Structure 1
Amino acid sequence: MAKTIIAKEIAVGGIVQGIGFRPFIYQLAERFGLTGEVSNTSAGVHILLEGSPQGMDGFLRDLQARPPALAVLTRVEAQETAPRGFTRFTITKSEAGPARATLISPDVSICQDCLKELFDPADRRYLYPFINCTNCGPRYTIINDIPYDRPKTSMAGFTMCPDCQAEYDDPADRRFHAQPNACPVCGPKVELLDNQGRPVPCRNPLARAGELLKQGRILAIKGLGGFHLAADAGNSQAVSLLRRRKLREEKPLAVMVLDVDAARELAEVGPEEEALLMGFRRPIVLLKKRAPEALAPEVAPSNRNLGVMLPYTPMHYVLMQHSPNALVMTSGNLSEEPICIDNQDALNRLGNIADFFLVHNRDIYLRSDDSIVRRGAGETRFIRRSRGYVPTPVFLKNKAPHILACGALLKNTVCLTRGDQAFVSQHVGDLENLETLEFFRLTIDHLKRILDIEPQAVAHDMHPDYLSTVFAKELGLPRVEVQHHHAHIASCMAENQVEGQVIGVALDGTGLGTDRAIWGGEVLLCGMKDFHRAAHLSYTPMPGGNKAVKEPWRMAVSHLKGAFGKAFLDIRLPLLDTVSCTGIQTIDQMIDRAINAPLTSSTGRLFDAVAAITGLRFNASYDGQAAMELEMAADPRADKPYEWAVTGEDPMEILTAPIIRGAALDVEKGRPTAEVAGRFHASLIQAFAHVCQVLRTQTGVRQVALSGGSFQNALLLSGLIRELESRGFKVFTHKICPVNDGGLSLGQAMVAAASIT
């Protein structure tokens, strides 16, 4: 009896290029006795398959159930076709096409197989700092266009030697069609330079770099998505010098250690943190420091947490064999500028910071900072989503048209939508200078090209002076202006695929409101298309405008004046002994005369005020410093709230004066700062939960979405979740995008999609 032969044409979409997917298909077809061919296309992967019905069923089953580790399948479409008489299975040349729907893998850490070869003296890639395979290495930062093939990456200029070419051509090899494939004979090379760009004579640049780090020197090191500035994390003098040169006074610095055991010597590492540290994405993980501190106190001053990451490139692993046990690895830039990715640019911009430069000759097409995560309220939470995660999309409940969302002023990201996918970019930074604006433009152009998205509309913040808003207005596209806090809540709704209306609690530092005041302590009745401001923290003058962000004592004076009137000057507080009488009188007059003292309902500025009232922080050297220190000082057992009150109806007003009075009088009585900070947190939790309960009674809405930078505070986030759930609410929080302004572009895109469809 003739054997039954059927044929299928299969289209696969998702992250299926550059991760060993075609070799996987080849081996799967061989296993089930099938013939045909597979190729990359601009839309994903195309497969023609012939064989027995049983083999076909097994192939399709394992294709979806057991894909490669780095693959993300978003679409598997199979249809019957006529047999073509294939006699074997082959991998064919990639096909360019008009529809570009493929997804690009993020850059990922070196895999265990490559790591084993890296330190095998018998291997031809022994200690080669660019070893990789289809399961690991650079992707997003070296690609210039799709399909993802070597000529369209920064490896185009490196011609493979016969040995590497043989691996690349062999479907049974782990390096089959690994686009960055290389070896010491034909691949990129490392060089050590002084800060004038002159080569440093040495046999082994990585070993020499490690010796210099041990001597207390500062190095600029070219990595996967840009340069790091590195120093011995145990050397106080070296770390202090790095801070002075980089103009980074107190903001914590991340460290790199060789393995999890080394991380445990510095900080507390639970099972979830261990999985994050060792996973192929390799973010910086915020961990609680061990006492006493094992590193220089200058690494993370006045902070109980430490940002820790493990090596993620082979160059890091080789360098760490010769280096101190822990290295500061902070972004290679001056404060407020984007990280350097080009060797000459790094020498020009970092020459006054670094003593030496460890560089290589593989270009980085697009910078990508290290991602930062923290465990909070039982989940992994992003502080910064970048290398290792971008450009993996956020999958949406409903399809959206092609929209560009331009994000916020601070912690900027951009977002492009296509169908049921939203692509939130890597961290761009604070749009406050021309260098970052240029990176912003470059990121948009790059994403548009590799995703083949030509926006039909653009979304932006309401603030007319943001550089992102100015850029959006210059595009000549239909525009959707999105209120800052509406975007925060829409972002949370989108990543949780929530439909209908929610009670949105949006707590942060700054966002222009519809009344032109500075919002930041908001409760919104919210859908994707529109919102209603249902409640907010009471307005308080913000003397000096943005200057109050850097000088929290100004907000303390403002809140104290609002709570006590002129009598606040008679309260015995550390603030009044520290800040000059002239300074306090000036702020008092600015408030009375309404001179440069815009009104704000900001939660961030309220945290600043209480931090200054307790004496924790009068001046801040980085965004959120005072609030962070107040969180770390708080005793979670001190959960008896201060007196709080809610007044008004539409919108309701959460009065801050009673809370400020309670906190200030406790400080005057000498109550411990930990108790005051704990009771302050408890007050906000109870007040916002009460407002949500009132709104549920009025509207029947039982869904609450929490968003905004103030929810980076784990005590506030976990406390409010717990309180709301105890009252019967369904609570949605961020797990895919940052809760801060790094997730804002997603919300802007979703509001725009709802507005124009």
Structure 2
Amino acid sequence: MRIEVHGVVQGVGFRPFVYTTAAELALSGFVGNDSSGVFIEVEGEPGAVAEFADRVEHRPPPLAVVESMTAVEIPLVGGTGFHIGSTNKTGGRTLASPDVALCADCARELRDPTNRRYRHPFVNCTNCGPRFTIIRELPYDRSATTMSVFPMCSDCASEYRDPGDRRFHAQPVACPQCGPELEFVASGEVHRWEDALRRAREMLTGGRIVAVKGIGGYHLACDAYDDTAVQLLRQRKRRGAKPFAVMVPDLATAESLVHLDERERFLLECPQRPILLAAKRGEILAPSVAPHNRNLGLMIAYTPLHQLLFGLPGDAPGPQVLVMTSGNLGGEPICYRNDDALDRLQHLADGFLQHNRAILVPCDDSVIRVVDGEDVPIRRSRGYAPMPVALPTPVQPTLAVGADLKNTCAVADGRYAWLSQHIGDMDDLATLQAFTDAEQHLEELTTVSPTLVVADAHPLYRSTGWAKRHQGDRPLVLVQHHHAHIAAVMGEHGLDGSGQVIGFAFDGTGYGPDGAVWGGEVMLADYKGFQRLWHLRYVPLAGGDISVERPYRMALSHLWAAGIEWTPDIPSVAACSPTEQRVLRHQLETGFGCAPTSSMGRLFDAVASLAGVRHVVDYEAEAAIEFEGLTANADAEPYAFELARDEIDAAPVIRAVVVDVRNGVPAALIGARFHAAVSALIVDLAERIRTDTGTNVAALSGGVFQNAVLLSAARRALTDHGFDVISHRKLPPNDGGIALGQILAANAM
């Protein structure tokens, strides 16, 4: 039988698995890699061959993903024994595996004094270790990775060739004698191996900041219990108040810091090891780790180096919870090369724990939260990229460049799309270069040669400008931002586009065809296009980004639009100086420097400011996030929006909020009533549209639906009213998932 297997079947121990399976069933033949996947020729007793094919398709190795398999009978050749053949680099396409956390077997070796990899910072096997970040090209062999510069010693080579060994054909295999080397650099001194680990732990214990090279780039680490150290890191990194993620050595430590359900425990220990956003048990860590935030982002150590940094039995005590934030200055791409890190991080870190295994492509940590038992990705990167997303309809070879915030790009061909790792906000030249590198690497790994380029319709987006500069003779299609959001969630759920959905696209900013700043959009949509049925009534966004950074200005704009006098008993008014009030009033009355906006994200900011929660933000959506944190649920009596023609008027909500503020109603209750109002609005509009059109699918997308209180309430209420509800589970609802929608929309036009 000739068997061809396609999917994630390289770098995951698939050939060793095939070898041992064939040996168990007394079959002869061979297995090899090519550019489309794994090919097998096998012969033996018919029952054994059938059992073999079943195991290959339905019981592959843990990290493998079999997307498709073909099997045809071929003439017998009378072979004896089974062997692994050479790699064939001819045509086709296979899938690269994401980077994978340290497996249980390697973790035991790391701690076993009798094992030759005891305390080895780079222990790995076919079931764990670096993949995506070290692969230059496919097929996946050692020569095609950054491990090619480390010749295997005789012991490692023996394991690599032994079909009965866990490291049989494990491409990153190494040991202390032949693999990468660990060093610690500080104050002009270089320490190696155990001395490097000891010095790094000492520095962390002493309240210093250490740059640590991981799988996808550098982290900046400090003791999460030492508030002085955390504040120093904030100051050096120019972080403001944005929460830091922390790393812990094990699940027990995580349980001591946050409340976890079964799904959250699984995510913390799964091979992807994302940062999990979970509810704090209290302010146990330094107050500066995640100020004014009820959630904590934490991950369990996912590399052997990280585990050694926490220490093994017998090591001197050190911090057991570390701030572990991306190694960069605010707004810059993550550092991943040693020379670049020593240059760019020299004023941020006191020491560098690094190694000489090169990272080919940077990859930030992924971030996930769980809402009602379901995953809601916030950032899809390490552990998940570049896993493909199956498409409901075939597409031509396409490149989508995404948006300008939380950027990811994507390529697609046929029935699959591949989204890049998180690239970041496209606001400087370094990020644009990182985007270019990521896009080129993605094309090389997938062998997709795009014939179509897609970008956001915003004329000033840097991603759109990049697309125009790089389109060459290829057509460029521009897709409206919120249409792409709805198309993305449709595609994620496999909708073929034969029917329309009721789309709720709620976010902070998106360019509308009328030149306004959209963001509170209710549409009837399929992949081909959309009809804007309802939207938040426009209010002036005065001064652009300054009103985003100062929610009190957005609150005053909503007060002005609602005809409410600016009196100092309203917290937002009190936060605005008399001089700024005069300038702002002039802008609102004349329209000078104002853009009309229908943004739901800005409405959340405004109400948060009116309730006295947050008037000035250090990072995107800080006011809304803090407002959500005060709001336990959306079960309170809701405020009420008014509907007229195609507009959703927020003025009645603003008036009711002001009344509650003046009556001393707590911000938490105002938050509950506001979240309930938005949820009730969604159900009301969905029912109206269903009555008019018969459409029963409600699609929720956009950054506002990262809000767990709103998402939970809206999904539950829509379901109770008989709607089929789709929301994001594989891709972020924010702009990090928008490239998928761009691909599907552009190919349907």
1:570 counterpart SS class? coil
Which residue number corresponds to residue 657 of structure 1?
651
Which residue number corresponds to residue 505 of structure 1?
504
- Residues 195, 347 of structure 1: 8 Å contact kept: no
Q: TM-score, normalised by structure 1?
A: 0.97
> Is 2:207 the counterpart of 1:216?
yes
Moved more, 23-32 or 427-436: 23-32
Output the amino acid matched with 2:560.
Answer: K
1:201/1:119 CA distance change after superposition, 3 Å: closer
Task: Give runs of aligned pairs for residues 542-621 of structure 1, distance below 5 A.
Answer: 542-564=541-563, 567-570=564-567, 572-621=569-618
> Is 2:233 the counterpart of 1:242?
yes
Of 264, 267, 286, 1:273 maps to: 264
Q: CA deviation at 1:546?
A: 1.4
Which residue number corresponds to residue 104 of structure 1?
96
Of 365, 368, 387, 1:392 maps to: 387
State the alpha-carbon separation in 2 of the partners of residues 570 and 91 from structure 1. Answer: 79
- Residues 508, 604 of structure 1: 8 Å contact kept: yes
- Residues 525, 532 of structure 1: 8 Å contact kept: yes
- Residues 377, 717 of structure 1: 8 Å contact kept: no
Output the amino acid matched with 2:630.
Answer: A
Q: CA deviation at 1:202?
A: 8.1
1:164/1:555 CA distance change after superposition, 3 Å: same
> Is 2:61 the counterpart of 1:68?
yes
Which residue number corresponds to residue 161 of structure 2?
169
The C-alpha deviation readout for 1:486-523, integer Å capped at 9, x for no partner, is 00000000010113210100000000001110000000
State the alpha-carbon separation in 1 of the partners of residues 373 and 142 from structure 2. Answer: 41
The C-alpha deviation readout for 1:649-692, integer Å capped at 9, x for no partner, is xxx11101001110111101111111111111111111121111
Q: TM-score, normalised by structure 2?
A: 0.98
Output the amino acid matched with 1:392.
Answer: M
State the alpha-carbon separation in 1 of the partners of residues 680 and 194 from structure 2. Answer: 64
Of 732, 738, 748, 1:744 maps to: 738
1:303 counterpart SS class? coil
Which residue number corresponds to residue 314 of structure 2?
none
- Residues 571, 668 of structure 1: 8 Å contact kept: no
Which residue number corresponds to residue 682 of structure 1?
676
Task: Give runs of aligned pairs for residues 626-637 of structure 1, distance below 5 A.
Answer: 626-636=623-633
2:658 counterpart SS class? helix
> Is 2:252 the counterpart of 1:261?
yes
1:138/1:506 CA distance change after superposition, 3 Å: same
Moved more, 567-576 or 353-362: 567-576
State the alpha-carbon separation in 1 of the partners of residues 674 and 403 from structure 2. Answer: 29
State the alpha-carbon separation in 2 of the partners of residues 445 and 98 from structure 1. Answer: 19
Which residue number corresponds to residue 725 of structure 1?
719
Which residue number corresponds to residue 520 of structure 1?
519
The C-alpha deviation readout for 1:166-211, integer Å capped at 9, x for no partner, is 1111111110111100000000011000165x42478521122111
Which residue number corresponds to residue 292 of structure 2?
302
- Residues 398, 454 of structure 2: 8 Å contact kept: yes
Q: CA deviation at 1:643?
A: 2.7
Output the amino acid matched with 1:453.
Answer: V
Q: CA deviation at 1:635?
A: 4.1
State the alpha-carbon separation in 2 of the partners of residues 155 and 273 from structure 1. Answer: 34
Q: CA deviation at 1:571?
A: 6.5
- Point out where structure 1 has 5 or more consecutive residues left out of the alignment: 1-7
- Residues 634, 709 of structure 2: 8 Å contact kept: no
Of 12, 16, 31, 1:19 maps to: 12
Of 319, 333, 350, 2:309 maps to: 319
2:458 counterpart SS class? coil
State the alpha-carbon separation in 1 of the partners of residues 260 and 233 from structure 2. Answer: 27
Q: CA deviation at 1:369?
A: 0.3
Task: Give runs of aligned pairs for residues 451-530 of structure 1, distance below 5 A.
Answer: 451-474=446-469, 475-476=471-472, 477-499=474-496, 500-530=499-529
State the alpha-carbon separation in 2 of the partners of residues 86 and 635 from structure 1. Answer: 68
Q: CA deviation at 1:268?
A: 0.8
Of 692, 695, 706, 1:698 maps to: 692
Q: CA deviation at 1:378?
A: 2.7
1:195/1:557 CA distance change after superposition, 3 Å: farther
1:389/1:574 CA distance change after superposition, 3 Å: same
State the alpha-carbon separation in 2 of the partners of residues 526 and 538 from structure 1. Answer: 20
Which residue number corresponds to residue 539 of structure 1?
538
- Residues 118, 314 of structure 1: 8 Å contact kept: yes
Moved more, 396-405 or 632-641: 632-641
> Is 2:150 the counterpart of 1:158?
yes
Output the amino acid matched with 1:382.
Answer: P
1:417 counterpart SS class? strand
The C-alpha deviation readout for 1:312-354, integer Å capped at 9, x for no partner, is 0000111111530100000000011110000010011110000
State the alpha-carbon separation in 1 of the partners of residues 277 and 678 from structure 2. Answer: 25
- Residues 247, 298 of structure 2: 8 Å contact kept: yes
Q: CA deviation at 1:639?
A: 2.0
Task: Give runs of aligned pairs for residues 50-61 of structure 1, distance below 5 A.
Answer: 50-61=43-54
Output the amino acid matched with 2:268.
Answer: L
Q: CA deviation at 1:577?
A: 2.4
Which residue number corresponds to residue 418 of structure 1?
413
> Is 2:206 the counterpart of 1:191?
no
2:9 counterpart SS class? strand
- Residues 183, 192 of structure 2: 8 Å contact kept: no
- Residues 195, 357 of structure 1: 8 Å contact kept: no
Q: CA deviation at 1:424?
A: 0.9
Which residue number corresponds to residue 229 of structure 1?
220
Which residue number corresponds to residue 33 of structure 1?
26
Output the amino acid matched with 1:118.
Answer: L
1:386 counterpart SS class? coil
Aligned residues: 740
2:40 counterpart SS class? strand
1:414/1:202 CA distance change after superposition, 3 Å: closer
Of 37, 40, 45, 1:44 maps to: 37
Which residue number corresponds to residue 4 of structure 1?
none
- Residues 698, 726 of structure 2: 8 Å contact kept: yes
The C-alpha deviation readout for 1:693-749, integer Å capped at 9, x for no partner, is 111111111111100000000111111111111221100010000010000011001
Moved more, 400-409 or 77-86: 77-86
Output the amino acid matched with 1:34.
Answer: L
Which residue number corresponds to residue 441 of structure 1?
436
Structure 1 segments of 4+ aligned residues over 6 angstroms from their partners: none
State the alpha-carbon separation in 1 of the partners of residues 126 and 630 from structure 2. Answer: 46
2:542 counterpart SS class? coil
Q: CA deviation at 1:98?
A: 2.2
State the alpha-carbon separation in 1 of the partners of residues 164 and 488 from structure 2. Answer: 43
- Residues 535, 598 of structure 2: 8 Å contact kept: yes
State the alpha-carbon separation in 1 of the partners of residues 224 and 632 from structure 2. Answer: 29
> Is 2:131 the counterpart of 1:139?
yes
- Residues 195, 354 of structure 1: 8 Å contact kept: no
Of 591, 609, 621, 1:624 maps to: 621
State the alpha-carbon separation in 2 of the partners of residues 520 and 576 from structure 1. Answer: 25
> Is 2:280 the counterpart of 1:286?
no
2:61 counterpart SS class? coil
State the alpha-carbon separation in 2 of the partners of residues 614 and 71 from structure 1. Answer: 50
1:19 counterpart SS class? coil
1:203/1:277 CA distance change after superposition, 3 Å: closer
The C-alpha deviation readout for 1:291-316, integer Å capped at 9, x for no partner, is 2x211000000001001100100001
Q: CA deviation at 1:39?
A: 0.2
Q: CA deviation at 1:578?
A: 2.8
1:205/1:220 CA distance change after superposition, 3 Å: same
Identity of aligned residues (%): 48
1:199 counterpart SS class? strand
1:598 counterpart SS class? strand
Which residue number corresponds to residue 116 of structure 2?
124
- Point out where structure 2 has 5 or more consecutive residues left out of the alignment: 312-316
Output the amino acid matched with 2:27.
Answer: L
2:574 counterpart SS class? helix
